[in-house]
Structure 1
Amino acid sequence: MVSGKVRGLFGISLLAVAAISAAADLPTFRLEMKDGVLNPARIAVPAGQKIKIEIHNLGQSAAEFESVQLRKEKVLAPGAQSFVVIAPLQPGEYKFFDDFHTQAQGVIVAK
């Protein structure tokens, strides 16, 4: 007989695997951040579709992907990588920036 706690943990594990699998299937765009330089600074994405942006900090200092419009922020240590998942966007432009390097400004363009 399996206890309720074990069943609960198993259920949570299945949900986590499902979430990771769903994120892996999304259209994915790579963003490199390096000491105040964004590459690319302009990311064209499909409108009306959930997307994933892989963020790679190639610099020697911390970086922060932030977008007030999209309500997203992610801090990365030097050499770290992570991702953000963005809900389907209406056509338009959505600004993002590196909060630690004020000159690093970018835009996501949904078409």
Structure 2
Amino acid sequence: MRTSLLLLALAAGLTLAAPAVAADDDDAIIITIKDHKFSPAEVKVPANKRLIVTVVNDDPTPEEFESKSLRVEKIIAGKSQGAVRIGPLKPGRYGFFGEFHEATAQGAVIAE
């Protein structure tokens, strides 16, 4: 019983620690938050394709990755990362921002 619980806990930890990336490494999208700014501030993605964006927060404080046009809101704790699913998107520009530091945390996804 004890061994089963240990193995279950270990498996759960490995699952949570795995980095989130798009299905194909060529499509991996990583946006970093540092000093309350997004980098890169603009990301080009293929249109009409579902993608996963990994948001890495290098700041010690939390930030909310939010976009009304992408229909997404996700709080990313300080010094952590989170996965955000987007798309499929029609060609166009889709703005996003950090709700907790909106004056500096601005960006856009450009679907082509």
1:25 counterpart letter in structure 2: A
Q: Match for residue 98 of structure 1?
A: 98
Residues 53 and 85, structure 2, Cα contact 8 Å, conserved in 1: yes
Q: Match for residue 25 of structure 1?
A: 23
Structure 1 residue 25 displacement after superposition:
1.4
Matches within 5 A, 1:1-111: 24-26=22-24, 27-103=27-103, 104-111=105-112
Classify the secondary structure of the residue corresponding to 2:102: strand
Larger Rg: 1
Higher strand share: 1
Write the deviation string for residues 61-110 of structure 1: whole angstroms up to 9, x where unpaired.
Answer: 11110001111011011111111111210000000000010121100000
**Structure 2 runs not aligned, ≥5 long:** 1-14, 16-20
Aligned residue pairs, count: 91
Residues 90 and 110, structure 1, Cα contact 8 Å, conserved in 2: yes
List structure 1 segments (4+ residues) > 4 angstroms apart after TM superposition.
Answer: none
Give me the identity figure in percent. 38
Taking structure 1 as the reference length, what is the TM-score of the superposition?
A: 0.75
Classify the secondary structure of the residue corresponding to 1:100: helix
Shift of the 24–49 alpha-carbon distance from structure 1 to 2, 3 Å rule, reads closer
**Structure 1 runs not aligned, ≥5 long:** 1-16, 18-22
